[in-house]
Amino acid sequence: MEKCFIKMKDVNLYYPSTTYNASTLKEEIFSRLSGKNKKNTLCDVHALKDFNIEINEGDKLGIIGHNGAGKSTLLKTIAGIYPIKSGEIQTSGSIRSLFELSLGFEFEATGRENIMYRGLLLGETPDIIAKKEKEIIEFADLGEFIDYPIKAYSSGMLVRLAFAISTSIEGDIILLDEIIGAGDANFYAKAKRRMTTLMENAKILVLVSHELAVIEELCNRVILVKKGQIIADGEPKEIVDYYKSERWK
């Protein structure tokens, strides 16, 4: 059986300038009435620069760095959410992404219906989702609200349902953006146990977190990212201590 891996070679990713240069209708009207053209047009943002990394089966990789360094961008690039401009990405193994948990929800639909929608978005078949439905409902602990439209849910109820669905489907490669806090204290304890099991069972874990103690506890390898590039790669304690020293700035 082929082993799991993630390989990125000379990957470059840009955020298009249109994302930042777009004007609101109010801004356009004001600009035309005042006779002033919009100034300070922004350029494309080079988010990942000639990025190279190989992550192999058994790696529990932590990613650290300041805000805007490219950590979450890297996760979403591996997940296939962001298209690259150049370079090569190869992956082997099923990928499960645990970020933006409510992605794919239909707010006019019921919680039960959204289990199917979200499960399909995560790549599962209708038969598998149907088999997992009862367990998901029990874990989310929404009672009769499971058959109410989710637009009627509180934020805590929505998080519980999203978490229950997303973590019911295991994968070879787990991409996790921060440790997920979900719901009240009782649910959080249950959620933490499930996350621990999910991460332990994964063949590869890639974790972004600002909680350095968590990174040291869960990971066997850490990279430090700055301006879309890896500037340090090694043992967790070594890289975390280097990050704390700020000698790399």
Task: Write down all domains in the chain, each with its CATH number in brackets.
Answer: 5-93+208-245 (3.40.50.300), 98-202 (3.40.50.300)
Q: What gap in Å lies between CA 104 and CA 120, rounded to an integer?
A: 9
pLDDT reading at 21 higher than 80: no
Q: Which positions ≥6 away from 93 have C-beta within 8 Å?
A: 4, 5, 57, 171, 172, 173, 203, 204
Q: Specify the pTM.
A: 0.81
CA distance 125 to 116: 9
Considering only CA atoms, give the Rg of the chain. Answer: 21
Dist CA 248 CA 130 (whole Å):
50
Q: Which of 38, 55, 39, 46 is nearest to 15 (CA)?
A: 46
The band of 38, judged by pLDDT with boundaries at 50, 70 and 90, is: low
Q: How confident is the model at residue 27 (pLDDT cuts 50, 70, 90)?
A: low
How far is Cα 90 from Cα 75, in angstroms, rounded to an integer?
A: 14
Q: CA angle 95-59-247, nearest 5°?
A: 115
Is the per-residue pLDDT at 39 higher than 70?
no
- Contact of 175 with 95, CB cutoff 8 Å: yes
